[in-house]
Chains A and B, each alone.
Chain A
Amino acid sequence: MEMQTRKEANTTVATITGRLDAVTAPEYEKAINELIAGGEIAFVVDFEGLDYISSAGLRALLATAKKLKVKGGQIRFANVKGTVKEVFDISGFGTIFQMDDSVAAALARIL
């Protein structure tokens, strides 16, 4: 997995590509946690380039989302589709997280 981040107004857009699995999930969690520790509380995660996610990846998403909630922050997911979307649906994540069809749509909904 690779992650690139950019700032759009007060929101951090994190673009992740490749695989979010047992090996890479800790990297994702660490990177987002560092941003949270640096004071970022609004995130849009762009899944456009993500080909694979396992339960380890889902747990990392959940853990960072919980951390943000405690801080009064928010996170939205954009471009969740294909096999990644299927795994979201199987595990019921589709209803837990706020998802949008594009990064722009997600940014527009960040409060």
Chain B
Amino acid sequence: MITVEHLSKKFGELVVLKDITIEIKTGEVISIIGPSGTGKSTFLRCLNLLDQPSGGSICIDGVNILDAKADVPKIRQKMNMVFQSFNLFSHLSVLENLTIAPIKLRGMNRQDAEQKSLELLKLVGLAEKADSYPDELSGGQKQRVAIARCLAMDPEIILFDEPTSALDPTMVSEVLSVIRRLAKEGLTMVIVTHEMDFARDVSSRVLYMDEGLIYEEGTPQQIFEDPQKEKTRAFINRVRSFNCQISSPDYDLYAMNAEIEAFCEKQILPRKTRQNLLLLVEELLQIYTPFLQTTLLDMTLSYSEKKESLELVLESPGETVNPLDISLQPDELGLNIINSLAGSIDYQRVGNKNRLTLLMKKS
């Protein structure tokens, strides 16, 4: 149905979309997830030419819509969009919001347009609001009207750009249930969303976008339960990380403690967890100190909000050695403390680096 190849979009020097290639088939429900600012909305806006792509091609049923001769208004009729901020005409009634495009753009007669619009309003549960004006509706109702307005043009595909982001949490479900219903009816949809449970339930395919690319894609099960790539995993598990490099045995322990404390503060971790973490880090750094004469230590602290788990990864290049090897320690004090604070400890040689992964016990 839609074939996108090597799509790119720049705003001045800022490259938002680097190289997007994807095929969307009829009947697919595709959710696009990913951190803010990674080009998800820009991708949708490029698809229906609200933003002009900088490069690549978009073919709909074999026709390249980036061709100068392409009939853009006709393309937009095939591929309608629901916006985060509804974009209803405030001076028109709900019914008029739905009928205006079919009458003006498709030449439909008023009676047919009104009849169809009332059916669509029924579909989204708002038939009794036909004569109301947008200002008289709640956010959730406005968005349902916007969806019905989209459907009034019989689009072949609907693009949803964060359709629930501007809504009060109590109104999110009414909008999502309408979208779920459309999905069941087999409408082709591309949905940019931050509603992960919804994306998991409704989609036939999930795209994780990051770095201006489709970083990973798969079925909801693949993406939500077994993501393969690091950034996808971090996003799905709502992982926040803190990274630092230590290059000298004379590192500033207190400056590092302050950064770790600030990180813990942001994640609202309990005081006991912070204390244990600071102790674990100090013990590890003590053990690494002899190595810091000759090598760098890269330390990453990651907190998964979903799993409520704290993980420490320490990587250092150099000869193969497990820094926690008992024969390297002056005594067992540090190791005893580390073993009591860490639920699991794993050593791996990765490339030319020694990697220690410690998962903190829950306190």
Contacts and interface: CB of A to CB of B under 8 A. Distances in A.
Interface of A: 21-23, 52, 54-56, 58-59, 83, 87, 90-92
B336 interface: yes
Contact of A91 (B272, B282, B333): B333
Contacts of B283: 54-55
B11 interface: no
Given A22-B286, A23-B254, A52 B279 contact: yes
A41 B283 CA distance: 31
Nearest to B335: A55
A83 B333 contact: no
B253 interface: yes
Interface of B: 253-254, 272, 275, 278-279, 282-283, 285-286, 331-334, 336-337, 340
What are the 5 closest A-B residue pairs judged by CB atoms, nearest first? Answer: A55-B333, A55-B334, A90-B340, A54-B282, A91-B336
A83 B253 CA distance: 19
A53 to B, nearest CB: 9
B279 A54 contact: yes
A21 B333 contact: no
Contacts of B336: 55, 90-92
Given A52-B278, A59-B331, A87 B286 contact: no
Given A21-B282, A52-B278, A54-B279, A91 B337 contact: yes
A91 B337 CA distance: 7
Nearest to A56: B286
Contacts of B286: 22, 54-56
Given A23-B253, A54-B286, A59-B331, A87 B337 contact: yes
